Amino acid sequence: MDVSVKGALTPNAWRAASHLRRSIHSMAWMAWVAAIVVIATLTRNPWYLGLVIASVAFVRRRCAAPSESPHATLLSPVRFSLLVITTAALFNMAMVHVGATVLFTLPPWIPLLGGAWTLEALAYGALNGAALVSLFLGFSVLNRATSVRSLLRLIPRAFYPVAVVTSIAVSFIPTTLQQIEQIREAQAVRGHRLRGVRSWLPLLIPLLEGGMERALQLAEAMTARGFAGGVETRDRWPQMLTLTGFVGLVAGWLLQIVWRQQEAGAALLAFGALLLLTGLWRAGRRHPHTVYRPEQWRARDWLVAVAAGAAALAYLLPLFARETLFYYPYPALSWPAFDWRIGLATLGLLAPALS
Amino acid sequence: MIRLEHVTYTYPDAASPALNDVSLELPEGQLILVIGPSGAGKSTLLRCLNGLTPHFSGGVLRGAIHVAGLDPVSVTPRVLSRHVGFVFQDPEAQFVTETVEDEIAFALENAAMSRQEMRVRVEETLDLLDLTPLRDRPIKTLSGGERQRVAIAAALALRPSILALDEPTSQLDPKSAEDVLNSLVRLNQDLGLTIILAEHRLERVLPYVDSILYLPDDDGPVLFDDVRTMMGKIELAPPLVRLGKALGWRPLPLTIKEGLRFSRPWFAEHSVAALRRSKPQPARNGEPSIRARGVKVRFGQQEALRGIDLELWPGEIVVLMGRNGAGKTTLLRSLVGLVRPHAGVIEVAGQNIAGQQVADICRKVGYLPQDPNTLLFAESVEQELRVTLRNHRMDAEERKIAALLQRLKLHDKMNAYPRDLSVGERQRVALAAISVTQPGALLLDEPTRGLDYAAKQELERMLREWRDEGMAILVVTHDVELAAAIADRVILMSQGEIIAEGPPADVLATSPLFAPQIARLFPESGWLTVEDVLGANGRCQD
């Protein structure tokens, strides 16, 4: 198996080298973020949300490589989080006029704002803000720890061309920003002063044309290196299968929702999903390609994925004191309950920071 | 190997064909240079070899093409990618991934090669182009020459038997271009790779190539022969060959080494005439148009300019040269206020520009950025000029606009859509758009990029005319022959500092990197151009 080539790395050294680059598998990171999404959607309990934010912030400090782009440091995450929580709290207090602890009252004839401004509304708004912050922090860690390209690798093979094209589109954003700057300068050089929206209009034409030209150049470069966007084949099966599968899914869902046919609907849903997957699999075989340096799934990735999964399940399944999740400050602010088992499961989100 | 039979190709919606009845046969294992004026179909011809034309571009192709035993029209570019590697002009525009290794592996992944085999291929390809030390580097951190070598490596990963390159050195400084060309020669000699290269800068590539394919832009015949024969047949030639032809040197020298065999004895006979007739330095009177003192610019931690002193006087052409990344463009940009120095003073027409808006500064200084396309957005050539005038709240005098267009030979293109014009014409429109305010100084960044020989001569003529009318002109360029032809004064920059300054004969002639061909042939003479030598010859015969 081992082919010895002058200058080539041995497979082990190779694997070691590729590990240096990305320590946790993108799929494990995805599981971790999914757990955060589940928790942030399900609970408004300040204890649990606080634990989530603290864990994520800790992971962020430990794992995420500092981003190279200067834009990332424009707004510190702490300041952004405080801003989100304050805004959400004030907004909720201004809009929702229920709750026992009235802070002050505005005359009722003022539309929307009029009425009692309560501590309960302020608290609930802040909790909503905290849920948003945990989502934001989770995704910001994902963004810094993995590259867009490694995430796109996770897209099924049938969508390979789509994945590559998307990854290129993503890398076009910085180039386009650069291009905007270039064009803005070029216009300033011609005495163009930028005031208001109308003065930006002339910049659109060179920007669009330049963007089109670069996109075409890149597409050409990719074609020249064997990247085939649309492979022409006579195989119509994938299309038929995916289409039928999709129709099956929609019909099954309608059966369940509209006509209340639970079993028949479920069967149709399962059948549709099966067809869809088969179609995608067949389509994937039309785009043979290999991956030069696939990510390695190691023990640590298991740890992250399992811990994140456990955390999510603690919130999803009625195993523990599920009622503690739905903390609701109305009508009168009360001390939120805390279940130590759910709290412990939440700490599973710290897994990426271990080792 | 490569055979074209009566190939006629027309782009979609084009009135006339880009290739008209081209028949040719290119031999295996040679390094072939494709030359010809802009619009003669060089790029189109290269794209025919790997099927990008017509598969990617559409249009109508008639005739037959055979490449490596395949017909590019009937098989897909995907199949051809295993036989023909392709490198594009702009290194930036062809990268799909972020790191060197991944970029090389891209073609292999598309070919569904096994991982074991891919590893071997990537290693070999890295070795071939001396990229092993750079293997893990993000592509955006590489220099221009390194990037172009990565692009070549990426094109070679599938081990094609043919490599086609579309102006691969047009954006590189002389040293980086030499590195890229040396890599190509080694690939050609060690692997027997057939290399087909389109390039405008003959003086750079001629010593390396075996044969030349000439595409005319009119109905003239397509010519193909070995270099020496071709140089005898066609007008287009680098200074060395032009001189050789003018003085009747046989066999025609193609490299400096060959040229020196003729130039040494010739110089011994004519040395009297070489009594240093340096160009008369233009008289300096009044104020300099631009004066910079102690200009320092910093980008983050990196110092881009470390204390630049510069004066640009009316009626002179100053050429600014240096390796990629020496700070030349930064200096130009700071002179019009696009970059603000953290120390030092810049005065334009006697006024400090600190605090002035770019738009106001540019009324007195015309600045042509590297990519003139970013300047153009109006509906017609004439409108471009009017927009600039309107921006500056200046009157649009019909007579003046007409005169400027006449001068730039754009009068018959007055109503054309600027982006439909040729590279050279587009550049002239951009030049017109920035100079319609009649600024006292003109700053040009790489103005000869992508220009063919005729367009370059046209540019030289215009710059000289403006200079003679008292304009101050500063040109940043990698093109040593342009510098030799137009410079009154040359400034060399390195790492953000000016390292040499003076008349071109002093600065250029002694530089191993920036010496033009004629200076290399006659090291002691102070001659820089063919005209210098022939002038001396004339004086000798008087």
Structure tokens at B113: 């090669």
- B13-68: pLDDT as tens digits: 888 888 888 999 999 999 999 998 888 888 899 999 988 888 888 889 999 999 99
Distance, in Å, from the CA atom of A193 to the CA atom of A184, rounded to the nearest integer, reads 9
Which of A1, A147, A190 to mutate: most B Cβ within 10 Å?
A190
Q: Are B22 and B46 in contact (CB under 8 A)?
A: no
Q: What is the pLDDT of residue B281?
A: 67
Write out chain A residues lying below 8 Å of B367, CB-based: 189
Q: Are A91 and A129 in contact (CB under 8 A)?
A: no
Residue type, A224: A
Going by pLDDT thresholds of 50, 70 and 90, the confidence category of residue B253 is very high
Cβ–Cβ gap A290/B118 under 8 Å: yes
- B208-251: pLDDT as tens digits: 999 999 998 877 889 999 999 999 888 889 999 999 999 999 88
10-residue mean pLDDT series, chain A (355 residues): 37 42 77 92 92 92 58 64 92 89 88 88 93 90 74 67 67 73 84 72 77 80 75 68 86 81 83 84 73 83 94 88 85 88 93 82
Among candidates A168, A189, A217 on the partner chain, residue whose Cβ is nearest the Cβ of B336: A189
Structure tokens at B197: 């290269």
Cβ–Cβ gap B93/A224 under 8 Å: no
Among candidates A7, A226, A294 on the partner chain, residue whose Cβ is nearest the Cβ of B110: A226
Going by pLDDT thresholds of 50, 70 and 90, the confidence category of residue B445 is very high
Write out chain B residues lying below 8 Å of A228, CB-based: 76-78, 110
Q: What is the pLDDT of residue B425?
A: 86
Q: What is the pLDDT of residue A7?
A: 37
In chain A, residues 78-107 whose CB comes closer than 8 Å to chain B? none
Among candidates A1, A210, A231 on the partner chain, residue whose Cβ is nearest the Cβ of B373: A210
Give the list of residues 6+ apart from residue B500 with CB closer than 8 angstroms, or none.
B490, B491, B492, B507, B511
Cβ–Cβ gap A226/B373 under 8 Å: no
Helices B100-110 and B115-128: crossing angle in degrees, nearest 10, is 130
Going by pLDDT thresholds of 50, 70 and 90, the confidence category of residue B164 is very high
Please indicate if any CB of chain B lies within 8 Å of the CB of A3: yes
Q: What is the pLDDT of residue A14?
A: 42
| CATH placement of domain B290-502 | 3.40.50.300
Structure tokens at A259: 């006509």
Distance, in Å, from the CA atom of A284 to the CA atom of A157, rounded to the nearest integer, reads 5
The pLDDT of residue B271 is above 50: yes
ipTM of the complex, rounded to two decimals: 0.81
C-alpha dist (Å) from residue A253 to A123, A275, A276, B228, B413: 38, 15, 15, 77, 63
Cβ–Cβ gap B96/A185 under 8 Å: no
Q: B121 to chain A, minimum CA–CA distance in Å?
A: 10
- B368-398: pLDDT as tens digits: 988 888 888 888 999 999 988 888 888 888 8
CA atoms lying within 13 Å on the CB side of residue A199: 11
A335 CB burial (10 A radius; 0-12, 13-18, 19+): exposed
Q: A19 to chain B, minimum CA–CA distance in Å?
A: 13
Residue type, B408: L
Pairing label, strands B223-226, B211-214: antiparallel
Among candidates B52, B363, B369 on the partner chain, residue whose Cβ is nearest the Cβ of A191: B363
Give me the torsion for CA of B192, B194, B198, B202, rounded to 10°. Answer: 40
Structure tokens at B81: 């990618």
Among candidates B81, B105, B119 on the partner chain, residue whose Cβ is nearest the Cβ of A14: B119
In this structure, chain A runs to a length of 355
Cβ–Cβ gap A293/B124 under 8 Å: no
Please indicate if any CB of chain B lies within 8 Å of the CB of A74: no
Q: What is the pLDDT of residue A231?
A: 53
Cβ–Cβ gap B359/A227 under 8 Å: no
Q: What is the pLDDT of residue A90?
A: 93
Cβ–Cβ gap B101/A293 under 8 Å: yes
Cβ–Cβ gap B112/A289 under 8 Å: yes
Q: What is the pLDDT of residue B345?
A: 94
Give the list of residues 6+ apart from residue A82 with CB closer than 8 angstroms, or none.
none
Among candidates B97, B116, B371 on the partner chain, residue whose Cβ is nearest the Cβ of A149: B97
Write out chain A residues lying below 8 Å of B81, CB-based: 223-226
Structure tokens at A18: 């590729």
Give me the torsion for CA of B7, B8, B12, B14, rounded to 10°. Answer: 150
Phi then psi for residue A246, to 5 deg, are: -65, -45
C-alpha dist (Å) from residue A147 to A157, B383, B401, B418: 19, 45, 52, 40
Write out chain A residues lying below 8 Å of B436, CB-based: none
The pLDDT of residue B259 is above 70: yes
Q: What is the pLDDT of residue B277?
A: 55
Short-list A322, A354, A351, A352, CA closest to A339? A322
Cβ–Cβ gap A205/B377 under 8 Å: yes
Cβ–Cβ gap A293/B105 under 8 Å: yes
Q: What is the pLDDT of residue B16?
A: 85
Q: Where are the alpha helices (DSSP H) in B100-226?
A: 100-110, 115-128, 144-156, 174-191, 202-205
- B186-216: pLDDT as tens digits: 999 999 999 999 998 888 899 999 999 999 8
Cβ–Cβ gap B377/A147 under 8 Å: no
B/e letters for A182-200, b = 16+ CB within 10 Å, e = fewer, are: bbbbbbbbbbbeeeeeeee
Write out chain A residues lying below 8 Å of B78, CB-based: 223, 226-228, 231
Q: Are B342 and B298 in contact (CB under 8 A)?
A: yes
Short-list A338, A352, A266, A267, CA closest to A307? A352
Which residue bears the tokens 């456990």? A310
Short-list B30, B28, B32, CA closest to B46? B32
Q: Are A292 and A271 in contact (CB under 8 A)?
A: no
Q: Are B194 and B1 in contact (CB under 8 A)?
A: yes
Q: What is the pLDDT of residue B276?
A: 55
The continuous run of DSSP H or E covering B363 comes out as helix B358-364
| CATH placement of domain B2-236 | 3.40.50.300
Whether the link from the prior residue into A331 is cis, omega within 30° of 0, is yes
Write out chain A residues lying below 8 Å of B132, CB-based: 7
List of E strands, B315-452: 317-321, 343-348, 351-352, 365-368, 441-445
Among candidates B338, B363, B392 on the partner chain, residue whose Cβ is nearest the Cβ of A185: B338
The continuous run of DSSP H or E covering A238 comes out as helix A237-257
Q: B136 to chain A, minimum CA–CA distance in Å?
A: 10
Q: Rounded mean pLDDT of B405-417? A: 87
Among candidates B155, B359, B376 on the partner chain, residue whose Cβ is nearest the Cβ of A191: B359
Q: A311 to chain B, minimum CA–CA distance in Å?
A: 35
Whether the link from the prior residue into B239 is cis, omega within 30° of 0, is no
Q: What is the pLDDT of residue A171?
A: 62
Short-list A86, A189, B516, B83, CA closest to A94? A86
Phi-psi region for residue B150, left (φ > 0), alpha (ψ -120 to 50) or beta? alpha
Q: By CA distance, what is B362's nearest residue in A?
A: A189
Which of A152, A225, A285 to mutate: most B Cβ within 10 Å?
A225
- B324-343: pLDDT as tens digits: 888 999 999 999 999 999 99
Q: By CA distance, what is B102's nearest residue in A?
A: A292
Q: What is the pLDDT of residue B515?
A: 92
Please indicate if any CB of chain B lies within 8 Å of the CB of A202: yes
What residues does each domain of chain B span? 2-236, 237-279+518-542, 290-502
Q: Are A17 and B137 in contact (CB under 8 A)?
A: no
C-alpha dist (Å) from residue B527 to B4, B174, B318: 44, 20, 18
Among candidates B98, B120, B434 on the partner chain, residue whose Cβ is nearest the Cβ of A8: B120
Give me the torsion for CA of A128, A133, A139, A142, rounded to 10°. Answer: -140
Q: What is the pLDDT of residue A16?
A: 41
Write out chain B residues lying below 8 Å of A202, CB-based: 377, 387
Q: A105 to chain B, minimum CA–CA distance in Å?
A: 51
Give the list of residues 6+ apart from residue B266 with CB closer than 8 angstroms, or none.
B247
Please indicate if any CB of chain B lies within 8 Å of the CB of A194: no
For every residue of B478-489, which 3-state class applies, written as one string? CCHHHHHHHCCE
Q: A147 to chain B, minimum CA–CA distance in Å?
A: 10
Q: By CA distance, what is B366's nearest residue in A?
A: A189
Q: By CA distance, what is B159's nearest residue in A?
A: A225
Interface size between A and B, measured as CB pairs under 8 A: 174
Which residue bears the tokens 């990565």? B150
Q: What is the pLDDT of residue B325?
A: 82
Question: Given CA atoms A161, A164, A165, A166 in this order, what sign does their dihedral have?
Answer: positive
Radius of gyration of chain B (CA): 24
